[in-house]
Structure 1
């Protein structure tokens, strides 16, 4: 089990980056345009070059993730690259392009929903870079941070009409969640999803200290990100061609990073219980 917990996060990172890289090479943009508009880049030719460069960098990250499964010396370069990759989009949150002015701007987030997922990537990089110098408890909280942040932020957005309408296409095509619309209105279904997200993050936070709540909290949070991965199969707009994610698919596949965070939390929790 400990071997699996150590290796699975590397596999998840490698898979996510490989699929995103293929999508970028095939012409998908993800959130690249909005990110680099923050840096003042608007020329289409320059943006296209940046997209290809990003695809190459993501390919390198995928390769390093795969190598880290077997070779320890690949872990540090992977960690540094993940930190560098994540900082570029995260800094763009300082601009106004990702925020929804009609909902008051901050903390009402629009395109930035895909950007805040890079906090998961950032903490993975920091974890692998400093895992030998930080205590298991600190590493647990480090990896809880992006999970709790995204569930709080995006979960909170579920109470807005804009977000409720935005997820309707995903939820209505999901065999796991479409039943909600048979029982509840679009807004009420979104509210319930938001309530679930908030409960999940709270129980996991308490479970870090209260042993009886750890597994319920971990499983509740994991269910969120595992369910989103099923959208890759149920939502028609996830792919533009076999093995080529759409921009929506890129948004969805990033949740593998949060699953990696949760796996690391479990691993560090197990190491704490040994002492």
Structure 2
């Protein structure tokens, strides 16, 4: 790998289009949600997730609700920028992939640690689908980590 994305251009046009839609789509989602983390609304919304997880429950002992949310937002924005810049600098893809894997494994684990996140509606188990979308983003993170 020479630091560029020439290996992507050797694929079929459909594969290239799919890859770039996934890359820029993931970057947009991370950037948008990352910016939203700087609002009091989002800081309050993620508090039950963070405070009920065994790996993150301590953070509110050392930081405010908004500071925790801001920190998560900065991480999400950095990962989005790594994705965007990996179009030109392929070596950044590895860091973006690692960041995505850690981020989305963490957020998906909230489905198992947050009380009341699962409900039965009309006999069908449902959850907060804004977290469930992270399953696809985790898969894309694994894909870009694999790319050479």
TM-score > 0.5, shorter chain as reference = yes
Could you say if the C-alpha distance between residues 165 and 190 of structure 1 is closer, same or farther in structure 2, counting changes exceeding 3 Å?
same
Query: CA offsets per residue over residues 181-224 of structure 1, 9 Å max, x none?
Result: 11100011100100110011112222333233221111112222
C-alpha contact (below 8 Å) 1:174/1:231 kept by paired residues? yes
Q: Please say which structure displays the higher CA radius of gyration.
A: 1
Q: Of residues 205, 218, 235 in structure 1, which corresponds to 2:114?
A: 235
Q: Establish whether residue 142 from structure 1 lines up as the match of residue 58 from structure 2.
A: no
Aligned to 1:220: 99
Distance 2:93 2:134 in 1: 21
Distance 1:246 1:134 in 2: 34
Query: CA offsets per residue over residues 105-161 of structure 1, 9 Å max, x none?
Result: xxxxxxxxxxxxxxxxxxxxxxxxxx843354x443211122111111111111001
Query: CA offsets per residue over residues 45-87 of structure 1, 9 Å max, x none?
Result: xxxxxxxxxxxxxxxxxxxxxxxxxxxxxxxxxxxxxxxxxxx
**Greater helix content:** 1
Unaligned segments of structure 2, at least 5 residues? 1-10
Q: Establish whether residue 133 from structure 1 lines up as the match of residue 13 from structure 2.
A: yes
TM-score by length of 1: 0.44
Q: Establish whether residue 180 from structure 1 lines up as the match of residue 59 from structure 2.
A: yes
C-alpha contact (below 8 Å) 1:205/1:217 kept by paired residues? no
Backbone CA RMSD of aligned residues: 2.2
Q: Establish whether residue 254 from structure 1 lines up as the match of residue 133 from structure 2.
A: yes
Distance 1:206 1:251 in 2: 26
Partner secondary structure for residue 119 of structure 2: strand
Distance 1:196 1:245 in 2: 31
Could you say if the C-alpha distance between residues 147 and 200 of structure 1 is closer, same or farther in structure 2, counting changes exceeding 3 Å?
same
Distance 1:150 1:214 in 2: 17
Q: How many residues align?
A: 135
Partner secondary structure for residue 237 of structure 1: coil
Could you say if the C-alpha distance between residues 266 and 212 of structure 1 is closer, same or farther in structure 2, counting changes exceeding 3 Å?
closer
Partner secondary structure for residue 91 of structure 2: helix
